[in-house]
Amino acid sequence: MQKWQVQAEKHNLIIIKEGDCQLCGSATTRGIGECIEKSAYIPHRLSHDEGVEHMTLFLCVDAYALQHSEMQGRWSIHLHLARLYLMLVEKIQWNYSYTPILSSVVDAYKIKHRNETIAPPAVKSRGAVTVTDVEKANSDSQYIALVNSWALGAFKSYNEGHQIAQRIAEALKTKVGITSGSRSTR
Ligand SMILES: [Zn+2]
């Protein structure tokens, strides 16, 4: 069984194999399985270096995770929401080196907040843009814009988690020694 299926079982999710994606509402015909397939390639439309530069590699993963929280571990939502907060609200230029540091910040955070959960919004209410909208982009610039809308919509829908995301983001900034809007030179 794949990791996401284990999580789906924990959430008592009954997988529907036809129609729209039952979690994000994307315009699939084979349901959630098709949505997952698309999520595997949608972050890779740009070259790797461009994907890092425009942060689309990270934004796609975070947007998808938030729209499919039933396929994620509990603390994974903290991580993805905090990363979106850092990129979209704090305007931090994200790079690969920050992600393991963010993981360690979340690990430290969860020891102090053992019982905390971030409740997801209702299914299909987790942002208007989905993976099948992003897929329709017919230029790189349109793709970048759609990925940003996708991530912003998913982030905004989790408004109850924003304070938590902010706290984790502050801890990350302190640990790395960066301030809002800083541009990485790495
Ligand atoms: Zn979906």
Per residue in 19-62, pLDDT tens?
999 999 999 999 999 999 999 999 999 999 999 999 999 999 99
172 Cβ contact list (under 8 Å, min separation 6):
82, 86, 98, 101, 102, 105
Using CA atoms, how far apart are residues 158 and 165, in angstroms rounded to an integer?
10
Reading phi first (left if > 0) and then psi (alpha if -120 to 50, else beta), residue 121 is in: beta
* Contact (CB, 8 A) for 157 and 125: yes
**Predicted confidence band of residue 182 (pLDDT cuts 50, 70, 90):** low
Using CA atoms, how far apart are residues 145 and 47, in angstroms rounded to an integer?
16
Per residue in 119-174, pLDDT tens?
999 999 999 999 999 999 999 999 999 999 999 999 999 999 999 999 999 999 99
The residues pairing with 30 across neighbouring beta strands, listed in sequence order, are 19
- Going from the Cα of 80 to the center of ligand 1, the distance in angstroms, rounded, reads 16
- Going from the Cα of 36 to the center of ligand 1, the distance in angstroms, rounded, reads 7
**Predicted confidence band of residue 186 (pLDDT cuts 50, 70, 90):** very low
Residue 182 within a domain:
no
Q: Say what the pLDDT of residue 24 is.
A: 98
- Going from the Cα of 175 to the center of ligand 1, the distance in angstroms, rounded, reads 34
Of 110, 99, 111, nearest in space to 164 by CA: 110
**Predicted confidence band of residue 3 (pLDDT cuts 50, 70, 90):** confident
Q: Say what the pLDDT of residue 163 is.
A: 97
Of 169, 141, 95, 181, nearest in space to 149 by CA: 141
Q: Say what the pLDDT of residue 50 is.
A: 98
Residue 66 within a domain:
yes
**Predicted confidence band of residue 86 (pLDDT cuts 50, 70, 90):** very high
Residue 133 within a domain:
yes
Lowest pLDDT segment from 2-6, 107-111, 129-133, 142-146: 2-6
- Going from the Cα of 67 to the center of ligand 1, the distance in angstroms, rounded, reads 7
In this predicted structure, the answer to whether residue 180 has a pLDDT above a threshold of 90 is no
- Going from the Cα of 84 to the center of ligand 1, the distance in angstroms, rounded, reads 18
What is the domain range of residue 100?
3-176
Q: In the chain, how long is the greatest CA-to-CA distance?
A: 47
**Cα 152 from chain centroid?**
10
Helix (H, G, I), strand (E, B) or coil at 111: helix
Overall domain count for the chain: 1
In this predicted structure, the answer to whether residue 101 has a pLDDT above a threshold of 70 is yes
Place of tokens 């984790």: 168
- Going from the Cα of 27 to the center of ligand 1, the distance in angstroms, rounded, reads 9
Residue 181 within a domain:
no
Residue 184 within a domain:
no
- Going from the Cα of 73 to the center of ligand 1, the distance in angstroms, rounded, reads 17
Using CA atoms, how far apart are residues 62 and 155, in angstroms rounded to an integer?
9
Residue 183 within a domain:
no
Q: Say what the pLDDT of residue 118 is.
A: 95
Using CA atoms, how far apart are residues 75 and 157, in angstroms rounded to an integer?
18
The model's pTM? 0.94
Residue 38 within a domain:
yes
Residue 29 within a domain:
yes
- Going from the Cα of 29 to the center of ligand 1, the distance in angstroms, rounded, reads 11
- Going from the Cα of 170 to the center of ligand 1, the distance in angstroms, rounded, reads 30
